[in-house]
């Protein structure tokens, strides 16, 4: 390695040695997989997810991964997509489960599905404010939604400005789970991913309502660096894809 003031850099030979070491580790993983002894693979998976995943199918994914790789520990980071992108770029996360947008050509991507938004409110909301039909009706009272700098929040602000509608009733929260609970408690209408409120809608503690405007759906992906990641990281991405699809099928069943 080259050691300069305040930094350490790999030499040309060091770069080759690191790649050779990665190939040895991958070959070791392959050996244990062929031997059907994934339990002997000891490592860690640094996982970054957004709250929508954490509140829906994350636990099913973690159980699936633990069953396949019982000796691989999981370090979990739940946060906003922008923060996860920064950690992924810095090499602090092995697998990111997040929506677009993120930097292009930044690792391998596996599509996890599309998540539509829905407007919901408690039954008390309709008794107090009536049934809204357009965005202007909804913005006359409190609106609960995700953090101010998220894509959906920015789209709502732009749409309100284009229609000359007030934004002073919008309540932003960094916690989607808190938005759901506040909506259930009758503190306002909420603009949230449908997957997050399906159970409440099915139980009638929240009611979906029509509007003439919705944000663009969230397109989720699993992201990992195939050149540097261990084989179990790629396997984890595949598990995520299967669990996301299974959860989507369950949601479809719930709505029938």
Tens digit of each residue's pLDDT (9 = 90 or more) over 68-125:
999 999 999 999 999 999 999 999 999 999 999 888 766 789 999 999 999 999 999 9
| Alpha helices (H) in 149-193, listed in sequence order | 151-162, 176-184
> Is 61 found in the same domain as 186?
no
Q: Identify the three-state secondary structure at position 78.
A: strand
Average pLDDT (143-171) is 93
Q: What is the pLDDT of residues 163-185, one digit of tens each?
A: 999 999 999 999 999 999 999 99
Tell whether 82 is covered by a domain: yes
pLDDT of amino acid 251: 66
Residue 68 and residue 117 in contact, taking contact as beta carbons nearer than 8 Å: no
- Give how many domains the chain has, as a whole number: 2
Residue 24 lies in a domain: no
CA atoms of 136 and 144, how far apart (whole Å):
15
Domain range enclosing 132: 117-209
CATH number assigned to the domain comprising residue 70: 3.40.190.10
* Token digits of residue 42: 């000891």
Q: Phi then psi for 59, rounded to 5 degrees? A: -65, -35
Return the pLDDT at 17.
82
Helix (H, G, I), strand (E, B) or coil at 162: helix
**Judgement on whether residues 125 and 248 belong to the same structural domain of the protein:** no
Query: Tens digits of per-residue pLDDT, 177-231?
Result: 999 999 999 999 999 999 999 999 999 999 999 999 999 999 999 999 988 888 8
Per the listing, tokens 């990641």 go with 229
């Amino acid at each position: 390695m080259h050691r300069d003031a305040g930094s350490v850099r790999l030499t040309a030979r060091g770069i080759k040695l690191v790649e050779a070491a990665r190939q040895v580790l991958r070959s070791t993983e392959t050996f244990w997989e062929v031997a059907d002894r994934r339990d002997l693979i000891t490592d860690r998976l640094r996982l970054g997810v957004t709250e929508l995943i954490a509140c829906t199918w994350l636990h099913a994914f973690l159980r699936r991964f633990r069953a396949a790789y019982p000796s691989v520990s999981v370090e979990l980071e739940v946060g906003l997509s922008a923060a996860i992108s920064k950690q992924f770029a810095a090499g602090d996360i092995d697998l990111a489960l997040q929506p677009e947008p993120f930097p292009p050509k930044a690792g391998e991507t596996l599509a996890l599905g599309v998540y539509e938004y829905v407007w919901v409110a408690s039954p008390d909301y309709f008794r107090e404010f009536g049934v809204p039909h357009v965005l202007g009706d909804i913005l006359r009272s409190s609106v609960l939604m995700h953090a101010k700098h998220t894509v959906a929040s920015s789209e709502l602000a732009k749409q309100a400005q284009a229609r000359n509608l007030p934004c002073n009733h919008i309540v932003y929260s960094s916690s989607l789970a808190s938005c759901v609970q506040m909506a259930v408690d009758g503190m306002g209408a909420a603009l949230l991913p449908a997957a997050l409120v399906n159970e409440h809608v099915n139980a009638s503690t929240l009611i979906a309502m029509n509007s003439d405007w919705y944000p663009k759906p969230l397109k989720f992906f699993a992201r990992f660096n195939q050149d540097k990641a261990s084989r179990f990281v790629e396997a984890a991405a595949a598990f995520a894809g299967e669990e996301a699809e299974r959860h989507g099928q369950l949601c479809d069943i719930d709505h029938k």
